[in-house]
């Protein structure tokens, strides 16, 4: 809502300046000498008209996106990068959103739908936390394939090779797949924590009543 108000104000301001500049330009043409250089306001008029219509187009896009979210029942959405868990290439950009009944991941031209009652956990961990788990010999036997496998090792190596310490955030989804087996989905949220956290925060209260899974070792 806040962005729409700013966009609307920007559109009105740009159109006002464009009209004002055009008026000064016309006065300069009709009354030679009344305006020192009428082409300057004309150039400004063209520029602000361009920015005004650009702002209007962005407002239209925002309105369409809002309508689409309402139609899909989207509670929250985010742009994340696929790391592991889906039959698409690593580092594929994904549009991820949560509805009242499901977690949806769109990426690589495919839409993946995961019912919330399949999800057992939704957590966010940093690359540093994953590296600590991977390199802890005491934990490697119990953390599971997602973190202690090749992907976890690769993340750990990247952390150790960093010259400057900064966190990369990962969304980890543990769920029961269609065959009844435990599966995991790993998505990268980059260096901004909220890209991953807002998905996990939306999911957690919706799965609080999901039954845990017992695994016979």
pLDDT at 72: 79
pLDDT of 109 higher than 50: yes
- Rounded to whole angstroms, the Cα distance separating 81 from 159 reads 18
Q: pLDDT band for 204, please (50, 70, 90 cuts).
A: very high
Specify whether the CB–CB gap between 120 and 213 falls below 8 A.
Answer: yes
pLDDT of 206 higher than 60: yes
- Nearest Cα neighbor of 169 from 127, 122, 139 is 127
Listed in sequence order, the residues at least 6 apart from 162 whose beta carbon sits closer than 8 Å to its beta carbon are none
Q: Which residue has the higher pLDDT, 207 or 69?
A: 207
Q: pLDDT band for 77, please (50, 70, 90 cuts).
A: very high
Specify whether the CB–CB gap between 156 and 130 falls below 8 A.
Answer: yes
- Rounded to whole angstroms, the Cα distance separating 142 from 133 reads 10
Q: pLDDT band for 127, please (50, 70, 90 cuts).
A: confident
What's the distance, Cα to Cα, between the start and end of the chain in Å?
A: 51
- Residue 96 has phi, psi (to 5 degrees) of -115, 130
Region for 144 from its dihedrals, namely left if φ exceeds 0, alpha if ψ lies in -120 to 50, beta otherwise: left
- Rounded to whole angstroms, the Cα distance separating 3 from 21 reads 27
Q: Is 9 exposed, middle or buried (0-12, 13-18, 19+ CB in 10 A)?
A: exposed
């Amino acid at each position: 809502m806040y962005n729409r108000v700013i966009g609307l104000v920007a559109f009105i301001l740009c159109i006002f300046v464009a009209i004002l500049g055009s008026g000064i330009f016309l006065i300069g043409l009709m009354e030679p000498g009344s305006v020192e250089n009428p082409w300057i306001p004309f150039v400004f008029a063209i520029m602000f008209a361009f920015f005004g219509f650009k702002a209007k187009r962005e407002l239209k896009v925002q309105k369409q996106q809002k309508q689409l979210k309402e139609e899909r029942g989207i509670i929250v959405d985010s742009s994340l990068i696929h790391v592991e868990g889906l039959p698409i290439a690593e580092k594929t950009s994904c549009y991820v959103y949560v509805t009242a009944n499901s977690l949806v991941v769109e990426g690589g031209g495919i839409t993946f739908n995961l019912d919330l009652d399949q999800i057992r956990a939704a957590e966010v961990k940093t690359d540093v936390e994953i590296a600590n788990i991977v390199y802890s010999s005491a934990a490697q036997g119990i953390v599971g394939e997602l973190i202690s496998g090749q992907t976890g090792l690769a993340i750990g190596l990247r952390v150790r090779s960093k010259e400057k310490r900064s966190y990369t955030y990962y969304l980890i989804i543990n769920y029961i797949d269609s065959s009844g087996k435990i599966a995991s989905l790993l998505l990268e949220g980059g260096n901004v924590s909220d890209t991953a956290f807002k998905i996990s925060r939306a999911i957690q209260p919706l799965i609080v009543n999901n039954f845990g899974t017992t695994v016979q070792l």
